[in-house]
């Protein structure tokens, strides 16, 4: 069935008029019948749009045909992948299902990294003395917020605050909505200047704006930042037991469309995306994994998290996760107020 751009747009508008509450009950389970024709594919796309339209930043009604083409390609890929035997994870039609891989990487995976600067400017973490547990998950210890947090402060003080992502974006000078430099955010911003509590800064808007930090704004400052010995799985495990660790990974279409299970690639070590390793564990089938918190919302993966295979045969670990781990250190409970340093933002 051939549809023109106009009919595609009209059909999509009709879908969007359906109440959001009702749309949440749409069954997005895909069958071979959904892939049989253009018409069945379009019906599947309409069901997908009724659920994900509002949460997908890629949507443009003037670009429906290309969105639909990307969706069809991803739907076929997901169907073929999930039929493979012996896989430890599944893919799904999540909110990124109407984006090509190039679009997805450009928009959601753009960490800026200078490895030489990173390793030279941040001291190495102290080695953990003694054994660590077989499994660990910081979500079970009350220091991970549903959206964002500076977990180090919670571990050091027992107080869990939500900090402003928008302030870091506006004021740090170390990134934009396309990508950022995690090491510079930690060393130059969180340590030297401090991050404002979210209630004292405008809400996150997914767009870089003028810095609006005012004198007297309460901020949380870190004492220093350290890096985990590179390409050392044992050191990373020990560090994650101490506290969640910022890590860099490579992403691809399987990561883009990940739904559930223990992700085991394929992927390389061209790291471009910053995530947080919040734990590690072992499945009932004896598959070791990292528990990783992503930044793409609770509708992606396992409620916003992904389990990535751990203790593999390459020293960089899967997707390069063990190459560039870093975390801040906080020794005191004090919350500062911006006074003299505000002019330097």
345 lies in some domain: no
Q: How confident is the model at residue 334 (pLDDT cuts 50, 70, 90)?
A: low
219 lies in some domain: yes
Q: In terms of domains, do 10 and 136 share one?
A: no
- How many structural domains compose the chain? 2
Q: Report the pLDDT value the prediction gives residue 57, as an integer from 0 to 100.
A: 46
Q: Report the pLDDT value the prediction gives residue 119, as an integer from 0 to 100.
A: 62
pLDDT over 80 at 253, yes or no? yes
Please state, in angstroms and rounded to a whole number, the distance separating the CA atoms of residues 249 and 321.
Answer: 5
Q: In terms of domains, do 81 and 163 share one?
A: no
339 lies in some domain: no
Under 8 Å between Cβ of 258 and 300: yes
Alpha carbon of 88 to those of 1, 27, 122, 314, 318: distances in Å?
36, 23, 36, 19, 14
CATH number of domain containing 136: 3.90.70.10
Helices 38-52 & 5-16, crossing angle to 10 degrees? 40
Stretch 70-93: mean pLDDT, rounded? 96
Q: In terms of domains, do 172 and 204 share one?
A: yes
Q: Please write the tens of the pLDDT for every residue from 36-69.
A: 999 999 999 999 988 887 544 445 555 888 999 9
HEC profile for 71-89?
Answer: HHHHHHHHHHHHCCCCCCE
Q: In terms of domains, do 242 and 189 share one?
A: yes
Q: In terms of domains, do 200 and 282 share one?
A: yes
Better pLDDT: 104 or 5:
104
108 lies in some domain: no
342 lies in some domain: no
Q: In terms of domains, do 215 and 292 share one?
A: yes
Q: In terms of domains, do 189 and 145 share one?
A: yes
Share of the chain above pLDDT 70, in %: 66
Q: Please write the tens of the pLDDT for every residue from 168-203.
A: 777 765 544 344 455 556 556 666 677 777 777 777
Q: In terms of domains, do 55 and 149 share one?
A: no
Q: Report the pLDDT value the prediction gives residue 177, as an integer from 0 to 100.
A: 38
pLDDT over 90 at 134, yes or no? yes
341 lies in some domain: no
50 lies in some domain: yes
Q: Report the pLDDT value the prediction gives residue 249, as an integer from 0 to 100.
A: 93
Q: In terms of domains, do 140 and 284 share one?
A: yes
Q: How confident is the model at residue 152 (pLDDT cuts 50, 70, 90)?
A: low
Range of the domain at 71: 5-93
Share of the chain above pLDDT 90, in %: 39
43 lies in some domain: yes
Q: In terms of domains, do 175 and 63 share one?
A: no
Q: In terms of domains, do 58 and 185 share one?
A: no
Q: In terms of domains, do 129 and 213 share one?
A: yes
């Amino acid at each position: 069935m051939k549809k023109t751009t106009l009919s595609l747009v009209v059909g999509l508008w009709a879908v969007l008029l359906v109440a959001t509450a009702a749309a949440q009950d749409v069954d997005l389970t895909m069958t071979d019948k959904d892939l049989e024709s253009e018409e069945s594919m379009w019906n599947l796309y309409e069901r997908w749009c009724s659920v994900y339209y509002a949460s997908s930043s890629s949507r443009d009604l003037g670009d429906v045909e290309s969105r639909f083409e990307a969706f069809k390609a991803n739907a076929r890929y997901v169907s073929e992948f999930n039929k493979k035997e012996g896989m430890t994870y599944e893919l799904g039609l999540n909110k990124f299902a109407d984006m090509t891989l190039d679009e997805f990487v450009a928009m959601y995976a753009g960490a800026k990294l200078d490895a030489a600067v990173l390793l030279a400017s941040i001291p190495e973490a102290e080695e953990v003395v003694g054994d660590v547990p077989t499994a660990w998950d910081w979500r079970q210890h009350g220091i991970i917020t549903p959206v964002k947090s500076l977990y180090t402060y919670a571990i050091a003080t027992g107080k869990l605050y939500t900090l402003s992502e928008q302030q870091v974006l506006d004021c740090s000078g170390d990134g934009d909505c396309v990508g950022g430099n995690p090491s510079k955010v930690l060393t130059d911003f969180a340590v030297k200047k401090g991050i404002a509590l979210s209630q004292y800064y405008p809400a996150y808007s997914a767009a870089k704006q003028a810095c609006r930090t005012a004198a007297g704004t309460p901020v949380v400052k870190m004492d220093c930042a350290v890096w985990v010995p590179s390409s050392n799985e044992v050191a990373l495990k020990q560090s994650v037991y101490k506290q969640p660790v910022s890590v860099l990974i490579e992403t691809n279409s399987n990561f883009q469309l990940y739904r559930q299970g223990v992700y085991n690639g394929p992927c390389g070590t061209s790291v471009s995306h910053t995530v947080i390793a919040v734990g590690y564990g072992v499945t009932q089938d004896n598959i070791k994994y990292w528990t990783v918190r992503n930044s793409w919302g609770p509708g992606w993966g396992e409620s916003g998290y992904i389990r990535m295979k751990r203790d593999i045969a390459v020293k960089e670990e899967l997707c390069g996760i063990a190459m560039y781990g870093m975390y801040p250190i906080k020794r005191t409970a004090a919350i500062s107020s911006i006074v003299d340093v505000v002019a330097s933002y």
